[in-house]
């Protein structure tokens, strides 16, 4: 049977960097991991409408650097950056360490799987037709320049008595190709009939910046020994 693996976890450490970057001894590891979870949960819950697909955390001995990737950074920043300072104080009280917040804007939210899944879940909660919602999301993502998209919904679709799955694919989604930059998002839509799971895979192209040069070098080095063998 086909074994499904989270595309982000699959590529972490090979093509993608970790979302938490710090080192801790065995004694402190669990506590710091829990702190990271608290920070992420707090930020995503408080700024649900800011469109935050990713929160990166870096630690030094005295401070925690939190990088928020947001589609609508204005929601977090507020007037004259007052809300950032407020958030900083709240996180410091939550964690008990010095926090340094950095906000990065996402230029094309249509290519972020988590944001697309959030949008679909929001529409489903408002009782809109799931087929139309899926189709619209796919068209928007493909127009934004994606190489492919796959959306899968599972649950009581359209308020049906029996839960089922619906899947739509557009373009190519090479899940087992590690060089393919595939983003994955999962959100639950809370409808009156029950929860509907929304899964989105988006193919953003290839990781070609570093690999091309490496491949070319490998090709050159591998050609030299071949010539010597012929002689």
Tens digits of per-residue pLDDT, 33-58?
Answer: 999 999 999 999 999 888 999 999 99
**Overall average pLDDT of the 169-185 stretch:** 94
pLDDT of residue 175: 93
pLDDT of residue 1: 67
Percent share of the chain, pLDDT over 90: 74
**CB of 44 within 8 A of CB of 38?**
no
pLDDT at residue 212 is higher than 50: no
pLDDT of residue 38: 93
pLDDT of residue 201: 97
pLDDT at residue 226 is higher than 60: no
219 pLDDT tier (thresholds 50, 70, 90): very low
pLDDT tens profile 56-91: 999 998 899 999 999 988 888 888 778 888 899 999
Say which range, 64-78, 129-143, 152-166, has the weakest mean pLDDT: 64-78
**Model confidence, pTM:** 0.84
Q: If you ran DSSP here, which 8-state letter would residue 196 be given?
A: E
**Overall average pLDDT of the 157-177 stretch:** 94
Range list of H helices, 70-172: 73-77, 82-95, 113-125, 130-143
**Overall average pLDDT of the 124-149 stretch:** 94
136 Cβ partners below 8 Å, 6+ apart?
none
Percent share of the chain, pLDDT over 70: 89
């Amino acid at each position: 049977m086909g074994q499904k693996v989270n595309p982000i976890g699959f590529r972490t450490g090979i093509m993608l960097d970790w979302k938490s970057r710090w080192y801790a001894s065995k004694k402190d590891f669990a506590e710091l991991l829990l702190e990271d979870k608290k920070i992420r949960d707090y930020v995503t819950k408080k700024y649900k409408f800011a469109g935050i697909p990713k929160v990166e955390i870096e630690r030094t001995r005295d401070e925690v650097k939190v990088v928020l990737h947001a589609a609508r950074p204005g929601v977090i920043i507020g007037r004259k950056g007052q809300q950032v300072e407020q958030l900083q104080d709240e996180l410091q009280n939550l964690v008990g360490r010095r926090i340094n917040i950095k906000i990065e804007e996402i230029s094309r939210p249509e290519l972020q799987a988590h944001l697309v899944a959030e949008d679909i879940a929001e529409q489903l909660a408002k009782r809109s037709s799931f087929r139309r919602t899926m189709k619209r999301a796919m068209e928007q993502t493909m127009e934004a320049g994606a190489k492919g998209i796959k959306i899968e919904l599972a649950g009581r679709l359209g308020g049906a008595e029996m839960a089922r799955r619906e899947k739509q694919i557009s373009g190519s989604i090479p899940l087992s190709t590690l060089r393919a930059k595939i983003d994955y998002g999962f959100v639950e839509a809370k409808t009156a009939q029950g929860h509907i799971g929304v899964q989105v895979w988006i193919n953003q192209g290839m990781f070609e910046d570093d690999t091309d040069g490496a491949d070319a070098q490998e090709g050159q080095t591998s050609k030299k020994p071949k010539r010597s063998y012929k002689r």
